[in-house]
Chains A and B, each alone.
Chain A
């Protein structure tokens, strides 16, 4: 994830329709501009491909967390029921493995879900008192494409032409992203 502070100078184009945004972002990327990020009021499908964003690895985190929960659940039950204090319950074996499956399953799900969402919040730097900048109306009905002006070769006229070809309704330049 690009560091927010590092985007010192940026150009933001505002669009009204997701089609314009997708096409604009994809073209900007192919034309050699550095797409900093895209802001939308709802998840726009096809956007990841347009800006060549690789698939998230959070699914793997969820899988590992689930495996952790599974191991923890089984160990907890076998250890408490068969080793630490074996109790004869209705003559059942101390290590009554099939009866441990329900709790193991629940703990797998619990670990996987909680850790996945925890890592999501951490990775997105979402926390209670976050004071991140929000573009005007982006949580309502605007689609914003932000290009990073990485170096002196950034051609603002070329960017302007690209934006207007995709029906951008407004273009803003700024110094500090946050």
Chain B
């Protein structure tokens, strides 16, 4: 129903003294050929009611069960983290040869998950993809939580996490000894903290009008206080909307290169080293595509659960899931292409160390991990060519979980198989995670789901104002 007005005439005064003005109302982007994005012929009031009423009742049994399970996982993670910090990094399965393994695998995995949220909220916004409106709020929340989960791993790996602020370039009593700006690990710190900050303000800005809607509707005193404070006196004025949209677009334009930079910089952690299997110019685009791929898999997993459990089938429709499958198909194919390119370039380089890494990945002691990765990431998404699978919820759910598993293994394979058999055969070693490391991984999932479940209870899970804007998507 979004229309634009073009003035075609000035005001005229006719014989009876009445003023008339003529306008041409154009409907530039909407077409009869489109199918509606939101099902069920909703009115504006229906949208407000449907989304806001999810916040009102006391959480049901399903929520409490999921919350308790997540909390237990989180506690396991806390125990593992305390054990790591009080005893030392020796509690991990790392050794002299494999000095980086589980922690950084989880770090890269979670950062990657976050990328889909920004892709949906910023890149699809710039491309005017209206279907993003139903999923962007929860996808962005997922981004924020995933980045938090990711950030914990390097901090815990520091061994003395309370000194983590030493990576900041601040005047200190050690000289002033500055940080090393030539290190990709420092770039990581800047990239991830910027990414988190910008994602957080972007998400919050999108929330403000919806918090105002929730504020004007809720009966609960506590919630009203919270929403009143957080909605910053939003009253829907057009001047405010105009500036709001300007800044929203600016943030989207900033977040787009930002999200590409974040995983590029994460890939520099590896690519700028001299380790065969890491030292590769393909890494930045390969990592970014993989990140968006894994992130979309996680968004699909979460959205399928959310739409089912919160009865949002009219808002998150089969069409939304199908679109996400298409993005996963595209990015999955890029990832598959990158795998094949890596093999080809490795062999074609003629460098014995490169060739050895390729053979060792596919046929060495970690071949099982490599083939899990290859089949889940390069082959499984190809099933999305079939419309039957793209539109079947159980199929999408299963495939998305397989992709999540595959993408976790991708990072494990890249990191561990490149390290464990290095240039000196006498120092070759195997790596097995200890129970503490597994505990940390489990704990990060606990943190992720705990925080996501709190988000579902506290904030409108779908962007109310944006959905209202696309209600007329196919009407005209």
Give the interface of A toward B (CB within 8 A): 1, 17-19, 22-23, 26-27, 30-32, 37-51, 53, 55-56, 58-59, 62, 66, 76-77, 80-81, 84-85, 87, 89-90, 92, 96, 99-100, 102-103, 105-107, 109-110, 112-114, 116-117, 120-121, 123-135, 137-141, 158, 161-162
**Residue among B48, B187, B237, B257 making CB contact with A38, cutoff 8 Å:** B237
Is the C-beta of B173 less than 8 angstroms from some C-beta in chain A? Answer: no
Assembled-state Cα–Cα distance A17/B44 (Å): 10
Say yes or no: A44-B2 contact (C-beta < 8 A), given A30-B21, A116-B247: yes
- Which A residues are in CB contact (< 8 Å) with B184? 102
Is the C-beta of B224 less than 8 angstroms from some C-beta in chain A? Answer: no
Is the C-beta of B236 less than 8 angstroms from some C-beta in chain A? Answer: yes
Is the C-beta of B162 less than 8 angstroms from some C-beta in chain A? Answer: no
Say yes or no: A43-B178 contact (C-beta < 8 A), given A103-B190, A139-B209: no
| 16 CB < 8 A contacts A-B | A26-B23, A32-B11, A38-B237, A41-B209, A42-B209, A42-B465, A43-B242, A50-B5, A62-B250, A106-B258, A110-B198, A116-B251, A120-B243, A139-B48, A139-B216, A141-B43
Is the C-beta of B455 less than 8 angstroms from some C-beta in chain A? Answer: no
- Which A residues are in CB contact (< 8 Å) with B163? none
Task: Give the nearest-CB partner of A66 in chain B.
Answer: B254
Shortest Cβ gap from A160 to chain B (Å): 13
Residues of chain B from 214 to 269 with CB closer than 8 A to chain A in the complex? 215-217, 229, 232-247, 250-251, 254-255, 257-258, 261, 265, 268
Is the C-beta of B426 less than 8 angstroms from some C-beta in chain A? Answer: no
Shortest Cβ gap from B233 to chain A (Å): 3
Shortest Cβ gap from A67 to chain B (Å): 13
A27-B19, A134-B212 are known contacts; what are 15 more A-B pairs with Cβ within 8 Å? Answer: A18-B2, A27-B23, A38-B238, A40-B236, A42-B241, A43-B245, A43-B465, A46-B4, A55-B242, A58-B247, A106-B194, A109-B254, A126-B240, A129-B229, A135-B236
Q: Is the CB of B190 within 8 A of A107?
A: yes
Say yes or no: A130-B4 contact (C-beta < 8 A), given A53-B239, A113-B201, A140-B216: no
Q: Mark B176-215, 1 if CB is under 8 A from A, else 0.
A: 1111111110110011001001100110010011001101
Is the C-beta of B469 less than 8 angstroms from some C-beta in chain A? Answer: yes
Q: Is the CB of B3 within 8 A of A45?
A: yes
- Which A residues are in CB contact (< 8 Å) with B313? none
Is the C-beta of B79 less than 8 angstroms from some C-beta in chain A? Answer: no
**Residue among B4, B176, B205, B255 making CB contact with A84, cutoff 8 Å:** B176
Q: Mark B280-301, 1 if CB is under 8 A from A, else 0.
A: 0000000000000000000000
A-B contact count (CB 8 A): 238
Q: Is the CB of B261 within 8 A of A80?
A: no
Total B residues in contact with A, Cβ cutoff 8 Å: 76
**Residue among B2, B5, B43, B205 making CB contact with A49, cutoff 8 Å:** B5
- Which A residues are in CB contact (< 8 Å) with B21? 26-27, 30-31
Is the C-beta of B342 less than 8 angstroms from some C-beta in chain A? Answer: no
Say yes or no: A40-B233 contact (C-beta < 8 A), given A59-B250, A109-B194, A112-B250: no
Q: Is the CB of A45 within 8 A of B2?
A: yes
Task: Give the nearest-CB partner of B20 in chain A.
Answer: A27
- Which B residues are in CB contact (< 8 Å) with A48? 238, 242
Is the C-beta of B1 less than 8 angstroms from some C-beta in chain A? Answer: yes
- Which A residues are in CB contact (< 8 Å) with B187? 102-103, 106
Q: Is the CB of A138 within 8 A of B236?
A: yes
Assembled-state Cα–Cα distance A49/B242 (Å): 11
Q: Is the CB of A105 within 8 A of B261?
A: yes
Assembled-state Cα–Cα distance A102/B267 (Å): 13
Say yes or no: A110-B197 contact (C-beta < 8 A), given A39-B237, A56-B246, A85-B175: yes
- Which A residues are in CB contact (< 8 Å) with B7? 26, 30, 49
Say yes or no: A44-B238 contact (C-beta < 8 A), given A102-B265, A140-B44: yes
Among the interface residues A1, A30, A49, A85, which one has the most CB atoms of the partner chain B within 10 A? Answer: A30
Q: Is the CB of B45 within 8 A of A141?
A: yes
Task: Give the nearest-CB partner of A18 in chain B.
Answer: B1
**Residue among B45, B182, B234 making CB contact with A92, cutoff 8 Å:** B182
- Which B residues are in CB contact (< 8 Å) with A58? 243, 246-247, 250
Q: Is the CB of A89 within 8 A of B180?
A: yes
Assembled-state Cα–Cα distance A138/B443 (Å): 43
Assembled-state Cα–Cα distance A147/B43 (Å): 27
- Which B residues are in CB contact (< 8 Å) with A89? 180, 182-183
Assembled-state Cα–Cα distance A113/B194 (Å): 10
Q: What are the 5 closest A-B residue pairs judged by CB atoms, nearest first? A: A130-B233, A46-B4, A141-B44, A126-B232, A80-B178
Is the C-beta of B468 less than 8 angstroms from some C-beta in chain A? Answer: yes
Q: Is the CB of A31 within 8 A of B258?
A: no
Is the C-beta of B25 less than 8 angstroms from some C-beta in chain A? Answer: yes
Q: Is the CB of B208 within 8 A of A126?
A: yes
Say yes or no: A117-B44 contact (C-beta < 8 A), given A39-B235, A127-B233: no
**Residue among B169, B243, B251 making CB contact with A56, cutoff 8 Å:** B243
Say yes or no: A41-B180 contact (C-beta < 8 A), given A50-B5, A117-B247: no
Task: Give the nearest-CB partner of B268 in chain A.
Answer: A102
Is the C-beta of B50 less than 8 angstroms from some C-beta in chain A? Answer: no
Q: Is the CB of A135 within 8 A of B233?
A: no
Task: Give the nearest-CB partner of A69 in chain B.
Answer: B194
Assembled-state Cα–Cα distance A128/B230 (Å): 6
